[in-house]
Every structure is written in C-alpha cells, then in structure tokens.
C-alpha cells in the first residue's frame, strides 16, 4: 500500500456528508474534493500514485486515472472486485471434488473423490473500474507555489438510487484513500463552485463523532507530530465535557485552528501548532477569526473576544466563561 500521511478510510459515511446531501438541490451529485498542494509536496512524490509530478515549476498529471490497487483496499476492490464472506448468515453445504490416482498410482488411471463441507455464504461484487479525474483550478504563486486541484470520482450518483449508500460509501473511500479528502458536489458544479469551497475558513463538524472528528482534523496536517496529536486529543477531551453544539476545524490556510462552537455567536478556538492562548469570540467571530494574532491584539475592542492564556487554571477560566454565556 502507498504510504501517505492522511486517514485512509471511513468506517461509515461521515455525518457532514449526509447533511450536505440533504440540503443539496437536485438528485445527481459526484464525490469530489478540492486540495491545495504545494509544489514541494508534489516533488516529494506524495501524489505519485496519481501520476502527479513536476516538470520544472509546472505540475504534470493525467486528466483521469484508474487508482492503483496498492493504494488501498478500496482502490484494489475498484479494479479486481471484492468477495464478501457472510459470517452473519447460516452456513451452507458445499460439495468439493478432487481427482485422485487409482490405488495410489497415477499409472493405474484416476477417479474423482467428492466430499461435503459447511462453508460461509459468499457474494462477489465485480470491479467498477472507476477513474479519478484531476483538474488544476488555479495556482497561488510564491516561493513554494500552491496548486489548487480538483479531484473527482467519475461516476454520477443519484439520491434516489436503491444502492446509493453502498456506492456513496465506496466512492468516498476511493477518493479519501487517494487524496486525503472527500466531499460531495452537484454533478453540474462548475469550477467557480469548487473554488468557493477553499475560501470557506471554517468547517463545522457535529459532536458525537469523536474518532471521525479527530481523524478529519489530523488529515489536514502533513505528517502531524505526536505532540500535536496529544494536544488535539487533550483539547478535544476538555471541550467535549463542556457540551459544544459543534466542533470547528480550520480549512485552507486556517487548517491549524481547532475549537468548538457553543452558540451562533459564541466560539472558542486556538492554533494547534503555534500560540499560547485560546480565544473566545462572540457576535463577529467569523470576521475576527480571519485576523492574525497580532492583528487581534492591536485592534482589541474588549467586547469582541476574550483571550485566555494557557497558564495554570485556564481551563477553569474557560469553564466559567461558557457557564456565564449560557446563563446570559
């Protein structure tokens, strides 16, 4: 299997995907995603399994490619099919036959020997041979140029399909294995609609999906350190006890930020890789959160946010703030 630094598979369809589908107009949609990939990452071969490489400062890639079987189990099933063993169903009797020599000597001819054995029932799902298409939407110039790619599984799904859940689950995992991200878009979405998703600063993740939320956040980091993983787990565990209505994960250039939402006008978050404070923001949090730490401190207005430094007792301070805001 190809070694990558992102979550390989989903155990079930993410709640966020189902919620997005329920609000999406029309029945036809595709599994796709938008990823911002620095040139340095391409040069390091992270996306070599999709045949993406660099020629001088220009990315080279196929318009579409069938994922390589070694990328992961869903990529393998996509090209060779999958045998499903039903251990949840009663076993059935199967007759096996083998040719044996007469009197132990093949020179005397041979005969068939048959015997019965209880076996699990099995189904075979044939390969779908789906391609993933790659499109370069735009390039952000700089010392290490960033390429904005759209990746899409080339199969149009329909909300009314009888086997929708199975196909959606498979396509999401196929894209997740190969790109580290998976989302859904209307089948007729244009480039601008895809580009809009990278200008969204915050991804709202529902509570109650602990493993999924943690994996989703970590998938945005290239080779997250053990220290970062431990910090995320500590923050999540603490915030979970405060019963937030949702968790917040930064997108695009804000992917280092993580926090929780307690009301439409009350969120708390911090930078997981840098910073020594957690920020509680109120009515204008969506605008305030776009400011850098220095910009926030320069333009402190006293009512827009509260900065709680990570020193002894900071968790109790935040608990009291949450309690007071809920009581207001």
Tell me what pLDDT residue 304 has: 79
| Predicted local confidence at residue 49, as pLDDT | 94
Which of 57-66, 135-144, 209-218 shows the lowest mean pLDDT across its residues? 209-218
Contact in structure between 110 and 94 (CB atoms under 8 Å): no
Q: What is the mean pLDDT of residues 187-211?
A: 79
Nearest to 202 by CA among 163, 234, 250, 154: 250
Residue with the bigger pLDDT between 70 and 86: it is: 70
Instruction: Specify the higher pLDDT residue, 303 or 234.
Output: 234
**Cβ-contact 29, 172 below 8 angstroms:** no
pLDDT band for 32, please (50, 70, 90 cuts): very high
Helices and strands (H, E) in the chain, number of each type: 10, 18
pLDDT of residue 303: 59
Task: Tell me the average pLDDT of the chain.
Answer: 85
Q: How confident is the model at residue 2 (pLDDT cuts 50, 70, 90)?
A: very low
In this predicted structure, the answer to whether residue 1 has a pLDDT above a threshold of 50 is: no
Q: What mean pLDDT is predicted for residues 137-157?
A: 91
Is 283 or 300 the better-scoring residue by pLDDT?
283
Q: What is the mean pLDDT of residues 144-150?
A: 90
Residue for token pair 């009515």: 283
Chain Cα centroid distance, residue 198: 15
Whole-number percent of the chain with pLDDT over 70:
91
Q: What is the pLDDT of residue 217?
A: 80
Query: 140 vs 63, which has greater pLDDT?
Result: 63
Question: Which token pair is 313?
Answer: 């007792």
| Residue whose pair of structure tokens reads 């039903």 in the numeric block | 86
What number of CA atoms fall less than 13 Å from residue 77's CA on the CB side?
A: 15
**H runs (alpha helix) in 32-144:** 39-43, 73-80
For residues 264 and 284, the answer to whether their CB atoms sit within 8 Å is no
Query: Can you spell out the DSSP letters for 242-287?
Result: T--SEEEEE-GGGTTEEEEEEETTEEEEEESSS-SEEEEE-TTHHH
**Structure token pair of residue 134:** 């790659």
Q: Strand runs (DSSP E) across the chain, as ranges?
A: 28-38, 53-55, 58-60, 64-65, 82-86, 92-101, 110-119, 121-125, 132-140, 146-153, 157-158, 183-186, 202-205, 246-250, 257-263, 266-271, 277-281, 305-309
Residue 42's CB: how many other CB atoms inside 10 A? 20
186 — pLDDT class (breaks 50, 70, 90)? very high
Q: Is the pLDDT of residue 136 over 70?
A: yes
CB atoms within 10 A of CB 300: 10
């Amino acid at each position: 299997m190809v070694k990558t630094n992102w979550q390989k598979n989903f155990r079930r369809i993410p709640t966020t995907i189902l919620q997005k589908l329920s609000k999406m107009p029309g029945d036809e949609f595709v599994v796709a995603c938008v990823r911002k990939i620095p040139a340095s990452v391409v040069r390091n071969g992270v996306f070599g399994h999709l045949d993406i490489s660099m020629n001088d400062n220009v990315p080279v890639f196929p318009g579409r490619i069938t994922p390589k079987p070694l990328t992961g189990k869903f990529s393998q099933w996509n090209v060779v099919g999958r045998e499903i063993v039903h251990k949840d169903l009663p076993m059935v009797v199967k007759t096996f036959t083998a040719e044996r020599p007469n009197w132990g000597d093949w020179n005397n001819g041979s005969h068939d020997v048959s015997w019965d054995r209880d076996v699990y029932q099995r189904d075979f799902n044939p390969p779908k041979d789906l391609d993933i298409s790659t499109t370069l939407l735009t390039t952000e110039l700089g010392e290490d140029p960033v390429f904005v790619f759209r990746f899409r599984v080339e199969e149009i799904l329909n909300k009314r399909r009888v086997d929708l859940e199975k196909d959606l689950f498979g396509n999401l995992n196929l894209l997740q294995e190969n790109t580290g991200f998976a989302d859904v878009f209307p089948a007729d979405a244009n480039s601008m609609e895809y580009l809009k998703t990278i200008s969204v600063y915050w991804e709202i993740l529902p509570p109650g999906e602990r493993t999924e939320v943690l994996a989703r956040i970590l998938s945005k980091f290239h080779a997250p350190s053990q220290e970062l993983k431990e910090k995320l787990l500590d923050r999540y565990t603490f915030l979970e006890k405060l019963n937030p209505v949702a968790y917040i994960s930064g997108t695009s250039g804000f992917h280092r930020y993580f926090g929780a939402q307690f009301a439409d006008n009350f969120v708390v978050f911090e930078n997981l890789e840098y910073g020594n404070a957690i920020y509680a923001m109120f009515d204008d949090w969506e605008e305030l959160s776009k400011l850098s730490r220095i910009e926030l401190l320069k333009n402190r207005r006293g009512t827009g946010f509260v900065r709680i430094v990570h020193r002894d007792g900071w968790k109790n301070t935040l608990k009291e703030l949450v309690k007071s805001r809920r009581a207001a």
